[in-house]
Amino acid sequence: MDELKERALKTINKLGIEQKINKIKEIEDESSHQDFWQNHQLAASKMKIMTNLQKEINEAHLLEEYLREGMIEDAQKLLDKLEMLMYFSGHYDGNSAIFSIHSGQGGVEAMDWAEMLYRMYTRYFEKKGWSFEVIEEISGEEAGIKSVTMTVIGAYAYGFLKGEAGVHRLVRLSPFNADNLRQTSFALVELLPLIEDDKSPIVIKDDDIEWDFYRASSNGGQNVQKVSSAVRLKHLPSGIVVTAQAERQQGQNREDALRILRAKLWVVQEEERKKEEKRLKGGYKTPGWGNQIRSYVLHPYRMVKDLRTNHETSDTEGVLGGDLDRFIEEELRFFS
């Protein structure tokens, strides 16, 4: 009991209850201004953050109550949950996220795999109580998706998900091949933090951006509107190109594209910092297609294995149905 109380006290102190109360007051003050609600996505993100901050405060008080009343089992369970938050030390770990999936080489097989990953992750988001909104989706010609980008709104969404970035490999019997041959497919998951415009350290000059406007398309490439609401921007200094077309209003798509660009520029800056840090310590691995993080085997046996933490399970159906908690918990421990 004494050890449990000591752990609980340490965790509650690290949670920074006073700072969370101040943050809630800050968001409440912002929400009282009329222009707060003009950007519905940013407003929703902040309100979600406020709700989750209040939940953390309530849970910290509940933990203290469990300990006072000697409810050891309930206290242990709640403490384990709150201790997970201690892994989120990154500057934007508490933020919502911009989440993308891109099919790799392999044609329709890879596009189908990208859609399977989309289904897996959106079910995981739902289990976490996070909301998500598609910014852009490019469908495959026959099946699946070439790529999809979405915002994931929820406290610590970026912190929980950032370890999922990398290449995901699928091995299965092909449903698209008449000979039912074994097929290996790849897809890339990309994670960016959703950074509030007024809190971003990244400055984007108007002269550094080249805009292009075109008609948004639905599945199958059919025009869904007669106005050029979809946007494509190119950041001239970095060469980064971003597109957004999910919204019917060009202004909202412009905001989404700028938000993605801002996050991408921050990640580039962050990777340069990490690269220099690792170089001084010795060894650096560039994230990207060459770095496979997880393997999903459906034939000749069933196994999902994380190649960094070595955590594995034969419950492939559960994992593909969104049961990712154990994999993500192991990542958080591995990278902390």
Q: What is the 3-state secondary structure (H, E, C) of 211-259?
A: EEEECCECHHHCECCCCCCEEEEEECCCCEEEEECCCCCHHHHHHHHHH
Comparing 46-50, 227-231, 288-292, the range with the smallest average pLDDT is 288-292
Position 196, amino acid: E
Whether 308 shows a pLDDT value over 70: the answer reads: yes
Residue 189 placed within a domain: yes
Which of 87, 105, 133 is where one domain is finished? 87
Q: What are phi and psi of 292, to 5 degrees?
A: -80, 130
Co-location of 76 and 218 in the same domain: no
Classify residue 21: in a domain, yes or no.
yes
Contact 92, 158 (CB under 8 A): yes
Question: Do both 237 and 251 map to the same domain?
Answer: yes
**CATH number, position 142:** 3.30.70.1660
The pTM of the full predicted model, rounded to 2 decimals, is 0.81
Closest CA to 113 of 190, 180, 183: 183
Query: Are 23 and 64 contained in the same domain?
Result: yes
| 201-235 pLDDT tens trace | 788 999 999 999 988 765 434 444 455 788 999 99
pLDDT recorded at residue 202: 83
**CATH number of domain containing 221:** 3.30.160.20
113 and 239 within one domain: no
User: What is the domain count for the chain?
Assistant: 3
pLDDT category of residue 200 using cuts at 50, 70 and 90: low
Residues 166 and 23 in one domain: no
Do 10 and 61 belong to one domain?
Answer: yes
For residue 289, what are the CA distances in angstroms to 59, 74, 86, 261?
40, 43, 30, 20
Does residue 115 share a domain with residue 205? no
Which pLDDT score, from 0 to 100, does residue 227 have? Answer: 58
The predicted pLDDT at position 142 comes to 87
Q: Is residue 92 part of a domain?
A: no
The least confident of 26-30, 41-45, 70-74, 101-105 is: 41-45
Q: Which domain holds residue 168?
A: 97-195+287-335
Token pair of 219 as six digits: 């599945």
Residue where one domain finishes, among candidates 263, 281, 299: 281
- Are the C-beta atoms of 124 and 195 separated by less than 8 Å? no
What residues have CB less than 8 Å from 80, skipping those under 6 apart?
none
